[in-house]
Structure 1
Amino acid sequence: MPAEKPMLQCYNRGCGQKYDPDTNTDGNILEWNRTAKSCRHHPGLPVFHDAYKGWGCCNKKCTDFTEFLNIKGCTLSKHSNVKPPEPEKPVVKDDIPDTEEVEVKAIVPPSLQRPPIDTPMVIMKPNIAPSLMQQLSAPQQEEKKEALESDEIQIGTNCKNGGCQVTYQGPDTNNSLCTYHPGVPIFHEGMKYWSCCQRKTSDFNSFLNQAGCNQGRHVWKKDESEMQKVQCRWDFHQTGTHVIVSVYAKKYCPKESIVKLSPIRLCLKLVFPQQADATFDLDYELRGIIDVSASEVSMYGTKVEIKMKKAEPGAWTKLGSLIETKDEKKETKTRSNIDNVTPQMQAVDLDDL
């Protein structure tokens, strides 16, 4: 038997058939089509765009890849065993200069020069609420002063020893035993306790009801030195343009009280006439610089509010630093010694209280 002629593979796109080179001649295209010897292929390139697949030579598209492979060619010609040239890829130019990274820095306005601490201070004129003036009637102040100046102990006066809840009911009350706390109250991280017995609790009523750890005599009047100072609660908050200091106090005299400001200093003194002219003082060197002319002071029945205008934008990390007198420095040292016992009390179990 004669050997079979080798068949050649057609590389025209879309054909994929094998053909006999002897019968692959130019002739009538219709005749090739009828004898199925013609090459039906796509002269264009495949196109893939937006999930569609098709050919560049004919307007046939589909989304399925198998259906794309089965699209019949749009052109009839001879078979060819020469692979068509691959489409040229775009040339990437290597001579494009590297772009230079430019660091964009925020525009920082120049800081104001900080004035000295001894800059003259301005006495602020407060805005006084009408409710405050009604609270401080003259007869009430005179009556309170007379009671304080008198040596007579008023019925109902509380014992001044910390933790003692006995009130004066007459001379016989002096014969009762005073159970009190010789230490000072400490409030730290939500816990409340006395420095002398170190029994911690988170409930304020439980703290007030803690029995004293020492016994002695009742004290119905404070020493004159103790009556000269009043401890007021105060805090501060800030906005983008202002720093607001609030001092919570009642029954202070707005006429005798004074608030002074300088660009870097706040000085406040509240006078309490009903407590033998006791005072509360606050003197701070401010963290930032303020505009004194745009600041204001308001006095209410329960607080004093100092609204200070920032002279330059920015958030303050703290209000500033306290300017202490010699007596205040001594008191601060005493408080520091008391706070040193705090770490020793962290392991106290509240269930034992």
Structure 2
Amino acid sequence: MPAEKPLLQCYNRGCGQKYDPDKNTDESCRHHPGLPVFHDAYKGWGCCNKKCTDFTEFLNIKGCTLSKHSNIKPPEPEKPVMKEDIADTQVVEVKPIVPPTLERPPVDTPMVIMKPNIAQSLMQQLNTAPQQQEKKEVPESDEVQIGTTCKNGGCQVTYQGPDTNNTLCTYHPGVPIFHEGMKYWSCCQKKTSDFNSFLNQAGCNQGKHLWKKDDADMQTVQCRWDFHQTATHVIVSVYAKKYCPKESSVKLSPVRLCSSLVFPEQSNATFDLDYELRGIIDVNASEVSMFGTKVEIKMKKAEPGAWAKLGSPIETKDQKKELKTTSAVDNMTPQMEAVDLDDL
């Protein structure tokens, strides 16, 4: 007997049967000419849109087309390009958009005198100031009055006559600092939270009593000041009373702040603040406000970013003497309050 021909495997989708090539007709194979579709848990065929959720039921969906069996595998659909393949062929580098850095102007750039906004409370003080000045006008005398307290910081000796000059003065050459509830002298920094204990701290230096401040000492006033910042502005606040807004001035340049407050009741003594700024500001968008108890300087940042500090002080000829006596506090933050105990 002649040997039987081997059966061939049909590769039409959805058929999966073996067939005899001699008995292969146009209606022998029932299959799906389309591609299988898997989407959102549904399974089906693209040619007849028959869908189900069970995989076994999907395999049993009868073909929608009749034709001859074929032992030729249909071409596989092209696979989508995976991310790993893209990484092997192409490197895409994404960089953040960084605005260009402004060129920093020189510190000697001409400054603009700011026109301040004067608060109503300060205007009221100015209206009553002439009357107060007339009452306080007293002829000055070189003679030391009995009961005058020594002007050296920390010394509590009062003048009782010429013999008092022969006593030793124990005092603090530095300035008093009030910061975060602590009170101490910049020269010896013995900290305490109790104000009476602070006042009773023995001086760390010895010398002669000072009954009257020199004219040079009277020319300067110590004011407490600090600064804070937002995303768009840096605000400097100088806390002062009884200053003259007409004689006082605030000048700004893109990289410098220069403020001078004049105190008429203290022989036109001044408080000067001169700093080279840490960043760059927009002078035209900045403003100055004067109140009864402070001066607020609101400077607009010219470029985004936080300032680590306000800047660096600029030393002037008039400040050299003061800087020598306060060298111990040069590196302290401006939030620290330097207080004149003569006013307490």
TM-score (norm 2): 0.61
Shift of 1:232: 1.3
Q: Which amino acid aligns with 2:51?
A: K
Q: State the partner residue of 2:125.
A: 132
Q: State the partner residue of 2:217.
A: 226
Could you report, residue by residue, the CA deviation over 1:16-69 in whole angstroms, capped at 9, with x for unpaired residues?
A: 3456x3994659x7xxxxxxxx65433443233454321233231123323211
Match of 2:294 among 292, 298, 303: 303
Q: State the partner residue of 1:346.
A: none
Match of 2:263 among 267, 272, 289: 272
Matched, 1:47 2:37: yes
Q: State the partner residue of 1:57.
A: 47
Q: State the partner residue of 1:86.
A: 75
Match of 1:144 among 136, 141, 145: 136
Cα 1:261–1:65 shift into 2, 3 Å: same
Q: State the partner residue of 2:172.
A: 181
Q: State the partner residue of 2:13.
A: 13
Cα 1:127–1:205 shift into 2, 3 Å: same
Shift of 1:328: 1.6
Matched, 1:208 2:201: no
CA RMSD of aligned residues (A): 5.4
Q: Distance in 1 between matches of 2:111 and 2:331?
A: 38
Decide whether the 8 Å contact of 2:173 with 2:205 is kept in 1.
no
Decide whether the 8 Å contact of 1:261 with 1:267 is kept in 2.
yes
Q: Which amino acid aligns with 1:194?
A: W
Q: Which amino acid aligns with 2:263?
A: F
Cα 1:247–1:195 shift into 2, 3 Å: closer
Cα 1:253–1:149 shift into 2, 3 Å: farther
Could you report, residue by residue, the CA deviation over 1:75-100 in whole angstroms, capped at 9, with x for unpaired residues?
A: 4566x4614422464999xxxxx9x9
Q: Distance in 1 between matches of 2:62 and 2:320?
A: 99
Note the residue ranges of structure 1 that are not aligned, 5 or more in a row. Answer: 30-37, 93-97, 342-353
Could you report, residue by residue, the CA deviation over 1:156-188 in whole angstroms, capped at 9, with x for unpaired residues?
A: x76534345x596988xx799977534433568
Larger radius of gyration between Structure 1 and Structure 2: 1
Decide whether the 8 Å contact of 1:297 with 1:307 is kept in 2.
yes
Decide whether the 8 Å contact of 1:285 with 1:321 is kept in 2.
yes
Sequence identity of aligned pairs in percent? 58
Cα 1:233–1:283 shift into 2, 3 Å: same
Decide whether the 8 Å contact of 1:192 with 1:207 is kept in 2.
no
For CA contacts below 8 A with separation 6 or more, give which structure has more relative contact order.
2
Cα 1:57–1:195 shift into 2, 3 Å: closer
Cα 1:62–1:204 shift into 2, 3 Å: farther
Decide whether the 8 Å contact of 1:247 with 1:305 is kept in 2.
yes
Note the residue ranges of structure 2 that are not aligned, 5 or more in a row. Answer: 82-89, 333-344
Decide whether the 8 Å contact of 1:124 with 1:258 is kept in 2.
no
Q: State the partner residue of 2:184.
A: 193
Shift of 1:283: 4.1
Q: Which amino acid aligns with 1:82?
A: N
